[in-house]
């Protein structure tokens, strides 16, 4: 079957798989099965980050994103963000459970000194302890709220990032999280709702993709390719450059050793691409919207 091939229109977003697949949590719906014991991808060297940042300037990168695993397990994460804010805006995707106040104090200083925004996206996947902890682990609801509180205390405005694997059809979901955050002292809540990616651990927990859930050449006619992550992003990992943060476990997602080698088009061979196609903006800070919504 012929696959749609998506060119990189421009490298707007450069991602760093900064803590590899290592996480202090083992969420049952994680699309790359991160855990304390998953070392498929390791921590990025500080120098690897610095080199990629330097390389990104000539490529005109607009924004930088940091993910894992849990980025703040990286022993030099604060330093990495301080460095990045000299190049451009930085967003870090965190579970919010391991912050130390001294890190946030330093980041507060770095954010104030930079022209660019430092965004924190904190994952929480249910608006009650029961719903969240069933996915993210016992006690995490309270720990995440504490992390949000730490960020607020240091003057940040975290974006709560929600993958409601058990509540996807709840039409009041957004408002429920707004209420939760307000009740916990967050006066201007920011929320990003994400669709469930049915790969990795989630494929074992819930349902995987149905056979028909694939992107075809015909489906791309009249479709805005800019909605697809691979149209404007690449990911730096300790094992090379990958096409997007979602497909790390797919061998064909590795595109090269350097950014320059990884600028080629990508064929949408994967079923997770179907979710990206449907919702768009999966990895950006704005919420995703179903195409027909």
Partner 1 sequence: MPPADTATLDYRRIAVFGGVYSNYLALAAALEDARRRGAEECFCLGDMGAFGPHPDRVFGLLRDCGVRCIQGNYDNSIARGLDDCQCGYTDPRDNYFARLSYQYTFAHTHPDNRAWLGTLPTELRLLLGKYRLLLCHGSPRQMNEFLWESTSSSAFLDYLMRAYDTDVILATHTGIKWRRDLEGGKHFINVGVLGRPENDGRTNVWYALLTLARSASEGLEVEFIPVAYDHEQLAAQMRAERLPDEFVATVLTGWWTTCLEVLPYKERCRGRF
Q: Which residues bind partner 1 (CB under 8 A)?
A: 10, 12, 56-63, 87-89, 111, 115-119, 155-157, 174-175, 188, 190-191, 193, 226, 285-289
- Please state the closest distance from residue 176 (CB atom) to partner 1, in A: 11
- Sheet with 63-67, strands from edge to edge, namely 190-193, 159-162, 118-123, 90-94, 63-67, 13-17, 233-237, 240-242, 254-256
Q: Taking the CA of residue 37 as centre, how many other CA atoms within 13 Å lie in the half-sphere pointing to its CB?
A: 1
Choose between 126 and 280: whose C-beta lies nearer to partner 1: 280
Residues 183, 50: Cα–Cα separation, whole Å: 40
- Please state the closest distance from residue 83 (CB atom) to partner 1, in A: 14
Residues 144, 95: Cα–Cα separation, whole Å: 7
- Please state the closest distance from residue 160 (CB atom) to partner 1, in A: 12
Choose between 116 and 223: whose C-beta lies nearer to partner 1: 116
CA separation, residue 212 to residues 92, 208, 270, 272 (Å): 34, 12, 12, 12
Q: Taking the CA of residue 47 as centre, how many other CA atoms within 13 Å lie in the half-sphere pointing to its CB?
A: 0
Choose between 72 and 120: whose C-beta lies nearer to partner 1: 120
- Please state the closest distance from residue 258 (CB atom) to partner 1, in A: 17
Choose between 109 and 217: whose C-beta lies nearer to partner 1: 109
- Please state the closest distance from residue 153 (CB atom) to partner 1, in A: 14
Choose between 32 and 124: whose C-beta lies nearer to partner 1: 124
């Amino acid at each position: 079957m012929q696959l749609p091939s998506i060119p990189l229109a421009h490298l707007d977003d450069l991602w760093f798989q900064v803590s590899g697949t290592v996480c202090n949590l083992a969420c049952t719906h994680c699309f790359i099965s991160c855990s304390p014991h998953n070392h498929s991808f390791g921590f990025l060297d500080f120098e690897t980050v610095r080199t990629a940042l330097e390389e990104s300037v000539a490529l005109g990168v607009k924004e930088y994103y940091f993910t894992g695993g849990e980025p703040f397990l990286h022993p030099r994460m604060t330093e990495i963000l301080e460095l990045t804010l000299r190049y451009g805006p930085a967003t870090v995707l965190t579970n919010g459970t391991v912050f130390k106040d001294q890190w946030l104090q330093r980041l507060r200083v770095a954010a104030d000194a930079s022209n660019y925004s430092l965004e924190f996206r904190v994952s929480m996947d249910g608006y009650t302890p029961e719903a969240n902890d069933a996915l993210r682990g016992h006690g995490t609801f309270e720990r995440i709220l504490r992390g949000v509180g730490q960020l607020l205390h240091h003057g940040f405005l975290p974006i709560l990032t929600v993958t409601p694997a058990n509540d996807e059809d709840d039409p009041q979901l957004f408002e429920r999280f707004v209420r939760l955050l307000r009740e916990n002292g967050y006066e201007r809540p920011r929320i990003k709702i994400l669709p469930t990616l049915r790969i990795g651990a989630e494929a074992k927990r819930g349902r995987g993709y149905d056979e028909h859930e694939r992107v075809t050449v015909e489906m791309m006619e009249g479709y805005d390719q800019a909605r697809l992550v691979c149209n404007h992003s690449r990911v730096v990992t300790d094992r090379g450059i990958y096409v997007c943060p979602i497909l790390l476990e797919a061998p064909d997602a590795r595109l090269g050793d350097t950014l320059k080698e990884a600028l080629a088009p990508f064929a949408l061979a994967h079923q997770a691409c179907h979710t990206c196609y449907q919702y768009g903006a999966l990895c950006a800070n704005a919420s995703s919207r179903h195409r027909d919504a």
